[in-house]
Amino acid sequence: MISTGDKASDTGRRLSRERTLVRHIARQRRPEESTANQIVAGEAKIDECLSSRLLIMLTFIGILLTACNLFTPTMPMAPAETLPRTFSLYTGDTEPDQHWWESFNDPELNHLVSTALTGNFSLQEAWARLKQAKAISVQAGAERYPQMDGVGNALVGREKFTDSSSNSFGIEDFNLGLIAGYEVDLWGRIRAQRDAALLQAAASREDVNTAAVTIAAEVANRWIQIISQRMQKQLLEEQLRINETLLELVDLRFRMAIVSALDVFQQQQVVEAVKAEIPLVERDEELLRHELAILLGRPPPTELGITRSKMPQPAALPPTGLPADLLAARPDVRSAGLRLEAADWQIAAARAARLPALSLTARARYGQGDLDLLFSNWLLSLAANLTVPILDGGRLAAEVDRTRALADENLAAYYNTVLTAVKEVEDALVSEAKLREHIQGLKQVVASARNALEEAGVRYQNGLNDYLPVLTQLLTVQGLERDLIRRQADLLISRVQLHRALGGTWPQELTPFEMQRENIGNRSPGESSQG
């Protein structure tokens, strides 16, 4: 009598032998082996052709539907109509045909600005943020194209039956597949997200230009302030020599019993006060040199190669153009406008996300128990999925509200940036005009004070008055001389601020700092900077 277990073992061995035989036959199969196989192959080709046509048709329908975008942003009007027609001091249309710092005619300044535009780490941060924004725009645009993934797996093992023969059989299973997906942009959501990301990247590029404008202006300001401190130190040293000479004269008159000891003590006080000012001026110069080194991307202390000891004379006023020209000239205004436009596209994307979404999916799977015949058996499937948001707890509506509030914020920021740009130009123009008047009057005050000092000295030598008027006029003259140097520096800084406020087109020539490092090479300080 045969047991149930023996029957199961015999059945298992028989199935395994049949499976092995089928694999052997499959390896030896010829194209001409049977008409039935040819018919089956022909039907498979027909199915493949029909499936391909269906896929093409669905894709074409998706492209047609994509062309219909219901939500497009409505751009606000530029605030040009709210701006003044002209600046308070109109000097002609803007023609930024050269780098503004070259108007100071100083090769050292040209080299400093060129070095800063190459090595400044804040500018490098701006370049890095631009790269991030470009990568995000690529990610946002990737959804406009079909996505395809490949999958595969392999299983290799052995199966053993617990019978008296202890036979074992190999198990092999190989699968490969392709999965393609495509979301039909029915309402323009994907396009809106892509356009918003592209505008954000463009705004980041303008942020680079803004950083370059700021850095160039800060370098010029530090350069002017260093020269100012150097001139003040020279003036203090000259004043110290004059005061020491006067001290010797007063002391001589005291020894001759002509004046009292009070005159000597007062003049000694003036000498010591001037001596005490020199270290403070030296300190300020060193601190400014440290700040300039950081702007250049170098550690302080660093030799900067600044040899100039006289203040340069400002050139004629640059052409200011019209206030409306700032909308295109200033990179920060352009950046604010681009971010405003990006926010409007984000509103469109958020509104479109509340509508149904259609996605197409295609799958192709190849599988076989033998690796040589992997592509003999295959399965192709196509699917279309329609997703309709029904209940989301108000998440999508809240996203629309958020993007609208963001657009309002960007609109306010844009108008504020425009008004600030106009204010900065007006501030620079008014500051320069009034500083010129002040300097002209200050020069006359200095001349009058020197005449008064000379007259007080003559009267003191003739014994007509004591030393106090001389001392008073001496302190007045020396204070006015130092103040004149500071006001001349302020005039040049106002000119730098005017150039900064006007913006200009030169930052558009900037290239990534990696390329700048290659281009700048071993440029000498006397060469003109290029972008």
pLDDT tens digits, 107-146: 999 999 989 988 899 998 999 999 999 998 888 888 888 8
Mean of the pLDDT values across residues 212-220? 92
In-domain check, residue 201: no
Tell me, yes or no, whether 43 lies in a domain: yes
DSSP character at residue 527: S
Residue 16 sits in a domain whose CATH number is: 2.20.200.10
Q: Which domain covers residue 34, as residue numbers?
A: 12-67+146-184+356-388
Residue 92's pLDDT band (cuts 50, 70, 90): low
What six digits make up the tokens of 115?
A: 């070095």
pLDDT at 319: 77
In this structure, is residue 208 part of a structural domain? no
More confident residue, 41 or 428: 428
pLDDT digits (tens, 9 = 90+) for 161-205: 555 555 655 666 667 777 888 888 888 888 998 999 999 999 999
- pLDDT above 90 covers a percentage of the chain that reads 35
Q: What pTM does this model have? A: 0.74
Of 157, 177, 167, residue with least CA distance to 369: 157
Q: What is the DSSP letter of 75?
A: P
347 part of a folded domain: no
Decide if 473 contacts 242 (C-beta within 8 A): no
CA dihedral 478, 482, 484, 485 (to 10 degrees): 150
Number of domains in the chain: 1
In a domain, 468, yes or no: no
Q: What is residue 388's predicted lDDT score, i.e. its pLDDT? A: 83
Mean pLDDT across the chain, nearest whole number? 77
Which backbone phi and psi does 178 adopt, to 5 degrees? -130, 135
Average of per-residue pLDDT across 428-432: 92
pLDDT-derived band at 216 (thresholds 50, 70, 90) equals: very high
What Rg do the C-alpha atoms of the chain give, in angstroms?
A: 41
Examine residue 81 and state whether it is found in any structural domain, yes or no.
no
- Give the whole-angstrom CA distance, residue 270 versus residue 473: 12
Strands 168-184 and 357-368: antiparallel
**pLDDT tens digit sequence for 465-496:** 888 888 889 999 999 999 999 999 999 999 99
DSSP labels, 193-258: HHHHHHHHHHHHHHHHHHHHHHHHHHHHHHHHHHHHHHHHHHHHHHHHHHHHHHHHHHHHHHHTTS
pLDDT of residue 17: 42
In a domain, 506, yes or no: no
| Whole-number Å distance between alpha carbons of 126 and 80 | 29
Q: Between these two residues, 474 and 368, which has the higher pLDDT value? A: 474
User: For residue 387, what pLDDT is reported?
Assistant: 82
Whether 453 is in a domain gets the answer no
CA-to-CA distance for 212 and 215, rounded, in angstroms?
Answer: 5
What local confidence, expressed as pLDDT, does residue 172 receive?
A: 65
Q: Which residue has the higher pLDDT, 371 or 338?
A: 338
Instruction: Identify the sign of the CA torsion 434, 438, 441, 443.
Output: negative
